[in-house]
Amino acid sequence: MPEGDTIHKLAAALRPVLEGVALSRVATRVRRGDPLLEHGAMTAEAVQARGKHLLLDLEAADGRRWQLRSHLGMYGTWHQYAPGAAWHKPAAGAWAVLGLPDRVLVCFHPRELQWRPRADGARDVPRLDARVGPDLLDPAIDLDAVVARVRDRADSARPIVDVLLDQSLAAGIGNIYKSEVLFLQGCHPLRPLAQVPEAMLCGLYRDAERLLRRNVKPGPRITRERAEAGAFLNVYGRRGEPCHQCGAPVEYARLGEHLRGTYWCPVCQPGNP
């Protein structure tokens, strides 16, 4: 699962390339194995990120407005090529192709790709399906409202490791930040939501928002306050290595509803609340 800052960085990189540009070709694939469906020439409008979703608004020559939504998942990626250059991946894996005057943009193997008409001409980020909650990188994010949303909508018996990854509650937290914010708040991954104190729950989402915003800039992802060379994270990816805070070996297991890889310190994040 990509982190929300990854998609926001992608949107920032594509914005100056796409916005306001006339595209000679827009093609998308509806299902695996189907041929690419050609939509004709269009003008690219806004490029935006909403949680893990990249949104591209377009306008056709007849004035109709469309949106291309992609969710990269674990294996999706956008490539750019010079016109006529060979692609690095097989064409069968391309789910979207955009022809610009000086390059070709190709989306390979997204988890989801949707081509849909826009109901109106609004340029702001439209509301996605109910499964996508407030984006933690939204400049207007209200973290108190996010915490209230979590308390109201999530099963109180659900482990916090699943709550944090639930994009319908708040969008942007992926597998790395999940482990990192739990460490920063001293919270065991399997602690039920009902046993997470209000101050700790607020701290989890506050830390997630802070770290996501910190890492939108170029460079390696850093979650430690005083990162050393090659040691940018607290626990993620450090199975068996000493905790930076107490020295205990970092533990690892596949936890939660989807058995996602999770890292934690058994001393700093005790199992019994």
- Our answer to whether residue 2 is catalytic in this structure is yes
Could you give the C-alpha distances from 61 to 57, 64, 67, 125, in angstroms and in order?
A: 14, 7, 15, 22
Q: Where is pLDDT greater, at 230 or 249?
A: 249
- Our answer to whether residue 3 is catalytic in this structure is yes
- Annotated active-site residue in 29, 50, 52, 178: 52
8-22, 122-136, 157-171: the lowest-pLDDT one: 122-136
Q: For the residues 71-82, what does the mean pLDDT come to?
A: 89
Q: Per the structure block, which two tokens stand in for 35? A: 């041929």
* 213 touches 223 (CB < 8 A): no
- State the CATH class of domain 4-117: alpha beta
C-alpha 273/C-alpha 269 separation (Å) is: 9
Could you give the C-alpha distances from 6 to 2, 51, 80, 237, in angstroms and in order?
A: 7, 10, 17, 18
pTM summary value? 0.75
What pLDDT, in 10s, does the model give residues 181-237?
Answer: 999 999 999 999 999 999 999 999 999 999 998 888 877 788 887 766 668 899 999
Query: Long-range contacts made by residues 154-158, C-beta under 8 angstroms, separation at least 24?
Result: 154/193, 155/193, 156/192, 156/193, 156/194, 157/192, 157/193, 157/194, 158/192, 158/193
- Our answer to whether residue 89 is catalytic in this structure is no
Q: For the residues 3-12, what does the mean pLDDT come to?
A: 84
- Domains of the chain, residue spans: 4-117, 143-264
- Annotated active-site residue in 69, 191, 238, 260: 260
- Annotated active-site residue in 2, 110, 134, 189: 2
Q: For the residues 101-115, what does the mean pLDDT come to?
A: 93
Quote the mean pLDDT of the chain: 89
Q: For the residues 107-123, what does the mean pLDDT come to?
A: 79
- Our answer to whether residue 213 is catalytic in this structure is no
- Annotated active-site residue in 3, 180, 209, 251: 3
Phi, psi of 103 (to 5 degrees): -165, 170
CATH code of domain 143-264? 1.10.8.50
Q: Which residues of 216-252 are buried (b: 16+ CB within 10 A; e: fewer)?
A: eeeeebebeeeeeeeebbbbbebeeeebbeeeeebbb
Predicted local distance difference test score (pLDDT) of residue 127: 53
| Closest to 111 measured CA to CA, from 26, 7, 211, 39 | 7
